[in-house]
A and B are shown apart, each in its own frame.
Chain A
């Protein structure tokens, strides 16, 4: 259907697009899943300090094979190393960094984003599927810049960008910008506003797979 005719970024291209907007010197929390790939694409010459809520500030690269430490992981449970200047801490301190406004940017995945900036990324409507909130609700209330990266539509073609979320909310009016495989959109008081289209896509084609208006 319509989606097939659209030009879609790969996950790596999407991560690279988000990474372009992460400034030098930022303290950043990357959500589990796709957002973890952003760090690999931050342009050379920028120092970004990554916070992982399980108790490390200054998450460094994956260790070489054979040098993994099972007690040195990130929130995605991947083996990591400490970057220069890293610190370890306990959970209450870690969430003070998040809730207390000390982290500059968080990049999160989402099930749905509303034109009001409402975010749904922790529970579906399926009772059999146990909800798992983790640190998402703490991040969205405390981090001033919440960026979402996700596919523009669900596998069945239904929109993830909506006037109002239908899934339980993670936070209200918290999303600043949404990066999808099809477009980049800002959340404004008037609704979604186009920042850019993935080259090759027309605005009308992207509008057709979006469940809310897109302002230009």
Chain B
């Protein structure tokens, strides 16, 4: 089996207009900058972006927002220092925003990947973010029913990968990448080092079954 592809352009070629795209990363860590740049060049637009943040400065998701490629953002923390392009698009009413508590975001993504129909979480019970959602009281504690969150594609960043799609990560660059690999129909991983030899099975964090293509991008941001 060989899931490796020659370059970033080939890796993002299947992404179509209007697709939902999960993008790994938290802050500046674990973001697939190479794949995002390739997606910009590729031209897909009207995207739904699912990510923890909504980009900062002029790179990554901020660049997708700047170029008007994003119709909808699902995230937990859109506002960060330097998130100017998100703020511009949001204030102008050019993008739809769904704010999801961070743990609920991770678990909705995991639930999708694990084939679950949803889960009950105490997070957000009694708050604005639970309005209109089904609730349940179990042993005196309130819970909110949350739905799984699927995506057409996931763009991931990992430290090492092999042709089988196995991935290992570096420090806090792991974050949302493993769950997003599970929840998307087509997960693309940018890896700093693509090993031709198989990774040590004991070191594999994301098993290759969740990954559809791997591309080497040696730049560490």
Binding site for B on A (CB under 8 A): 52-56, 69-75, 77, 82, 88-92, 94-95, 98-99, 123, 128-138, 141-142, 168-172
- The number of A-B residue pairs with CB atoms under 8 Å apart is 147
Interface residues of B in 164-202 (CB under 8 A from A): 169-179
C-alpha gap A8/B206 in the complex (Å): 50
Closest residue of B by beta carbon distance from A167: B128
Inter-chain contact B107/A90, CB cutoff 8 Å: no
Taking the closest CB of chain A, its distance from the CB of B93, in whole angstroms, is 11
C-alpha gap A98/B121 in the complex (Å): 12
Interface residues of A: mostly helix, strand, loop or mixed?
loop
Other contacts beyond A131-B99, A137-B103: 13, CB < 8 A? A56-B171, A71-B172, A71-B220, A71-B221, A73-B172, A77-B80, A91-B26, A92-B178, A130-B99, A131-B79, A135-B102, A138-B101, A138-B102
- Given contacts A123-B128, A141-B125, whether A128 and B91 have CB atoms under 8 Å apart is yes
C-alpha gap A63/B123 in the complex (Å): 34
Taking the closest CB of chain A, its distance from the CB of B94, in whole angstroms, is 13
Binding site for A on B (CB under 8 A): 26-30, 52, 76-81, 86-87, 90-91, 97, 99-104, 106-107, 109-110, 121-129, 169-179, 205, 220-221
Inter-chain contact A132/B79, CB cutoff 8 Å: yes
Taking the closest CB of chain A, its distance from the CB of B191, in whole angstroms, is 13
Inter-chain contact A71/B107, CB cutoff 8 Å: no
C-alpha gap A123/B79 in the complex (Å): 11
Which of A70, A73, A132 sits near B220, CB closer than 8 Å?
A70
Inter-chain contact A134/B171, CB cutoff 8 Å: no
- Given contacts A99-B122, A134-B77, whether A70 and B28 have CB atoms under 8 Å apart is yes
Closest residue of B by beta carbon distance from A129: B79
- Given contacts A90-B174, A90-B205, A168-B128, whether A133 and B79 have CB atoms under 8 Å apart is no
Inter-chain contact B171/A130, CB cutoff 8 Å: no
Inter-chain contact B174/A133, CB cutoff 8 Å: no
Taking the closest CB of chain B, its distance from the CB of A51, in whole angstroms, is 12
Which of B26, B86, B102, B176 sits near A130, CB closer than 8 Å?
B86
Inter-chain contact A90/B122, CB cutoff 8 Å: no
